[in-house]
Structure 1
């Protein structure tokens, strides 16, 4: 309960325009490795090589303990493909022993019966399986691996058949782009027909000046904004119960596509209530990784979070000097917190903590 109260105080300060936190982030994402076994056209991470300097198991456990001790409530394991890391089940179990809610982003290609059971036994709370099409033809063309759809679908069934107490929750993560936007409703129907727990989606990010470079044929242009927003609104109306984020987030898709830089105008919670850690232990305010706050091998997380470099990064974010991405891990929570006032506190609690559970 202490953490929740402290985070609420922190959010109220943020809503009033404060830049410096009084507790650690409520959400953290840790990229446990860089490599990936898919070849997605909306991401070029699969071109990266295995990094021998990534955090070891012991270093990872130390990081997780420090995150928990500094107020983090939700930890998402990302990559690359996290299941390529052999100690991932041990790390998830360790995070649960530190009383953290855990989630994992996966392409699902490696989730056979054994790995599904290992994820369940480790105590994983939520898993996102990435699919970019409701049919094998569309999905495999976008994800770059023939047979991807069938393998991922089997992974989903393995998790569903073996889990107990509905854990982990299984969500589909759908990257909306120019080639699949008309399939968004079909994907929502796919999720509902298979009794999955929900659908997560965000527009493909084409930010060539940083690390997200999308195949230009798939990137949205300003002329696509109205069409996409119409499709999103239809899914909101017909399948709203499957969507985990506040509706304001989904209704900003057109605005983001028309002017991606408009996000900078938001008082973002990046670096205030959310943090991203790369495989080598570098700490960043968000997944774009444009401005480092420090490295966990050189300083404790507490010293990084309350240190000079972190403060300078937050100032740069407030001054709209850094790129901003339309991430589900950042934007919905930013919107929820911005609506907070002492008088509306009771209305804000549920959407804030519900949003914080999701990547």
Structure 2
């Protein structure tokens, strides 16, 4: 079923390619309505991650209520949104997460794909909630995708998340989602965020995922106050540096060499390898430059994780906020000053569809890398600066 569903997704993407390319061309000449949305529905979280600080600012009283969400999404601003992601914090800490998802899906007339990021750390909540959302998406003909975060195998994951038994709890959610795939079509996998603490566990995470037959994407730690609340960590020792960076670059290149060419995660892994290798100069496209938007729990509206707040959708009209001249000037500022060094992989595969040329270049480079196809393992502390 999973392979059939993947083919359905690729077919849908191919059919929409002409429209996507037209939107990309149009966005170069004038502002267009967003087609990509990240909605962080809460900063409340069931984890205490070392590389993310959202849990420190989680405040249920500041989260928009279901009625407020319904009112906000009645705006014509969202009329062209095709890809929507629900994130946090941990979305399943909201008792009304299923209803929130239904409101969003029903309010977006052009939605094609809906995703949810989850820790999976509270299985008795996550499993029934994700099940209902997956079923609703299938009923509506919307592609559903979800990933459980796994930042280490066994005790390492427990330590990173600062939750006792975190690995076991996440695995319960993973097992339930895989079982659900037998009767409901949706995309499922796991994701790992790599930073200084778990860099030596990369190979263990990869081996575990392969053993379990799980699709996995590796992400590098990054810093953003609007999205992650962790800007203060940028000056600390969270990010791998020096020789550890090179070890990580080789690991990402190995993923490109060894994984299937059409694996969507390869594009992300190549992006990270490029960023490390060229001194953090971004070459990958990003849909948020021209057609993305981010909404925070309290109604704060942003262009992306590097954006300043445009205003609050609870007190101002969302569409007017987005198209306001000062807002569009701010987007130009982001593009000129933040985008050139931005590490974010958010919706990068969407950008590949909407901006074909960069993706073709990636395929050419990935083909060259595959010809090398020599595993470049990360030896435990072999090149660490701490030695």
- Give TM class, smaller chain: 0.7 to 0.9
Query: Contact conserved, 1:28 with 1:74, CA < 8 A, in 2?
Result: yes
**Equivalent residue for 1:106, pick from 118, 137, 144:** 118
Gaps of 5+ in 2: 1-11, 139-143, 364-387
Which structure 2 residues correspond to residues 242-281 of structure 1 after superposition, within 5 A? 243-245=263-265, 247=267, 249-257=268-276, 262-263=281-282, 268-281=286-299
* Other structure's SS at 1:174 match: strand
**Equivalent residue for 1:96, pick from 105, 125, 132:** 105
- Displacement of 1:75 in angstroms is 0.9
Query: Contact conserved, 2:36 with 2:84, CA < 8 A, in 1?
Result: yes
Report whether the alignment pairs 1:61 with 2:102.
no
* Other structure's SS at 1:201 match: strand
- CA separation in 2, counterparts of 1:190 and 1:267? 31
Which structure 2 residues correspond to residues 167-178 of structure 1 after superposition, within 5 A? 167-178=185-196
Q: Which residue number in structure 1 is paired with residue 383 of structure 2?
A: none
Gaps of 5+ in 1: 348-359
Which structure 2 residues correspond to residues 45-84 of structure 1 after superposition, within 5 A? 45-66=54-75, 69-84=78-93
Report how many residues are paired. 334
Q: 1:13 to 1:225 in 2, by over 3 A?
A: farther
Q: 1:267 to 1:320 in 2, by over 3 A?
A: farther
Q: 1:223 to 1:139 in 2, by over 3 A?
A: same
Q: 1:229 to 1:54 in 2, by over 3 A?
A: same
- Displacement of 1:48 in angstroms is 1.5
Q: Which residue number in structure 1 is paired with residue 382 of structure 2?
A: none
Report whether the alignment pairs 1:299 with 2:316.
yes
- CA separation in 2, counterparts of 1:191 and 1:242? 18
Report whether the alignment pairs 1:309 with 2:318.
no
Report whether the alignment pairs 1:161 with 2:170.
no
- CA separation in 2, counterparts of 1:149 and 1:173? 13
Q: Which residue number in structure 2 is paired with residue 151 of structure 1?
A: 169
Query: Contact conserved, 1:294 with 1:309, CA < 8 A, in 2?
Result: no
**Equivalent residue for 1:188, pick from 201, 206, 226:** 206
TM-score (norm 1): 0.80
Q: Which residue number in structure 1 is paired with residue 23 of structure 2?
A: 10
* Other structure's SS at 1:340 match: helix
Q: Which moved more, 1:173-182 or 1:145-154?
A: 173-182
Higher helix share: 2
- Displacement of 1:238 in angstroms is 2.6
Q: What CA deviation, in whole Å up to 9, does each residue of 1:309-339 have, x standing for no partner?
A: 3211122123316795422215555566555
Q: 1:9 to 1:85 in 2, by over 3 A?
A: same
Report whether the alignment pairs 1:204 with 2:217.
no
Q: Which residue number in structure 2 is paired with residue 356 of structure 1?
A: none
* Other structure's SS at 1:30 match: strand
Which structure 2 residues correspond to residues 33-48 of structure 1 after superposition, within 5 A? 33-48=42-57
- CA separation in 1, counterparts of 2:187 and 2:98? 16
Report whether the alignment pairs 1:20 with 2:30.
yes
TM-score (norm 2): 0.74
Q: Which residue number in structure 2 is paired with residue 286 of structure 1?
A: 304
**Equivalent residue for 2:259, pick from 225, 232, 239:** 239
